């Protein structure tokens, strides 16, 4: 396994891995649906790429697991 380093931004795949590590089993299509529905905050890198901060992911986990 790769060395875990502190990330500032998470792409879709890294976000899914992070969320699963926090106990939230989620698929890529479900995470995209949450971005579309506005149930998770995200940023855009360029016009298309969706990225998340660690704070945004933690907030999402807190709301989903409650």
Kind and range of the H or E run holding 25: none
Phi first, then psi: what are they for 58, rounded to 5°?
A: -65, -40
Mean pLDDT of 34-55: 96
pTM to 2 decimal places: 0.86
Q: What is the mean pLDDT of the chain?
A: 92
């Amino acid at each position: 396994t790769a060395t875990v380093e502190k990330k500032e931004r998470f792409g879709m795949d890294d976000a899914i891995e992070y969320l699963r590590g926090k106990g939230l089993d989620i698929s890529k299509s479900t995470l995209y649906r949450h971005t579309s529905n506005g149930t998770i905050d995200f940023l855009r890198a360029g016009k298309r790429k969706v990225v998340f901060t660690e704070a945004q992911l933690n907030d999402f986990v807190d709301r989903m697991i409650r």
